[in-house]
Amino acid sequence: MTAYRSPLLDRPGAVEAEGLDRGVAAHYGDPLREQRALVRTPGTVVDLSQKGVVTVTGPDRLSWLTTLSSQVLTGLAPGSSAETLFLSVQGRIETAPHVVDDGTTTWLITEAEETAPLVAWLESMRFALRVEVADRSGAWAVLGASAPVPGLGDGPVWRDPWPAVAPGGWSYAALDGPHPGEERTWWEHLVPRAELDALTRDLPLAGAWAAEALRIAAWRPRWGAETDERTIPHELDLLRTAVHLQKGCYKGQETVARVHNLGHPPRRLVLLDLDGSEHTLPSPGAEVLAGERAVGRVTSVQLHHEQGPIALAVLKRTADPEARLLVTDGEQRWAAAQQVVVQPDAGQVVGRQAGFLRGPRGARP
């Protein structure tokens, strides 16, 4: 299979990204300026055309997706956005699409590597229902932005629900003030792939590094970065936006309910403030130490235009939340202070004193 290469990589200064963003630009010559433009300059877009696009059509599409996934999508209004998870029987995250419906079609925006497995699994679950599943990645591309961008056509637009606690969701972050994610808004426009170059010709561009820095600062997990073959939603605070705790049966529900009500997730997401004096960044997968003990790994890392070098990491639940940490990558070392995203005591809500972990505003714990 030929590796994808975006036409926007032919723009001046474009440097190709690696990992999940291979095939699009990491930056166009000035990552920090692009990051500031993404926040402050209307119309700045990020090429996310490496992502997959899956459509589900037919009158049963929303009820069918509800029965299969962690989220209630049955009443999703045209133009409304959601996030859902498809889990294994053990409750581990297999795919995590972004969802928007236009009244006749449900659009699922996916990472490139999760697209084919998701399509294959959905096809295997159709049975006699009135639904059709199609991989439309060849016809549609994705552009990201911090606000809706006029002039990008009539395609659907997904708005990231993070960090609001959706109906039926639950927050595992105990905060004294606003969630850091409230400073970030994020939209993903679906545009005809054949028009990608023309539609962006007169727009300011920011690379994938800029989008990633803002995502990390917002504590926003990403499939394929923060997830691995063992990840359950609780570890990443994804009960907040992607799980409805009162919905009917779906694959993996037993684990979701058991950990939330009676147990604790074995790992927890943190943000790391890294020592910037090294003038380098660790790689995703770098080991995190507390003293001499390995307690986790870095999952995403970037240089933020205001906060400096920051990373998301997944640690063992038992790692001391007050500990100073050390990130190691080969021979290099970075001191790191942690900001707790998922509390060590997350879960076990049955019998818990009210007010520690929170559901939607106004709901009872």
Binding site per annotation, positions: 188
**Cα–Cα dist 325/335, whole Å:** 6
Residue pair 338/295 in contact (Cβ under 8 Å)? The answer is no
Tokens at residue 86, please? 């498809």
Cβ of 354: how many Cβ atoms within 10 Å?
9
Handedness of CA 91, 271, 357, 220 (dihedral sign): negative
Residue pair 315/294 in contact (Cβ under 8 Å)? The answer is no
Tokens at residue 75, please? 């009443």
What's the full length of the chain, in residues?
365
**Cα–Cα dist 341/271, whole Å:** 7
**Cα–Cα dist 365/277, whole Å:** 44
- Closest Cα partner for 76 from 84, 86, 68? 84
**Cα–Cα dist 238/260, whole Å:** 12
Cβ of 248: how many Cβ atoms within 10 Å?
9
Per-residue buried b or exposed e for 42-56, using 16+ beta carbons within 10 Å of the residue's own CB:
ebbbbbbbbbbbbbb
Q: Which residues are annotated as a binding site for substrate?
A: 188
Alpha helices in the chain (DSSP H): 31-40, 61-68, 112-124, 196-199, 208-217, 253-262
Residue pair 142/51 in contact (Cβ under 8 Å)? The answer is yes
Tokens at residue 88, please? 């294994």
